[in-house]
Chains A and B, each alone.
Chain A
Amino acid sequence: MPAHFTPDDVDQIAELARLKLTAEERALFAKQLADILAYAEQVQEVDTRGIPPTSHAFASPESLREDQERPGLNRDDALAAAPDANGEAGLFRVPRVIGG
Chain B
Amino acid sequence: MVRRKILTAAIVIALPAIVAAQFGHPLKGTWSGEWGPKNSPTRLLLDFEWDGKDLTGKINPGTGAEGTVKKVTIDYSPVTSWKVQIEGEVNEGGKVIPVRVDGTLENLGAYTRAFHGTWTQGTRKGEFAVTRN
A-B complex is real: no
B interface list, Cβ under 8 A from A: none
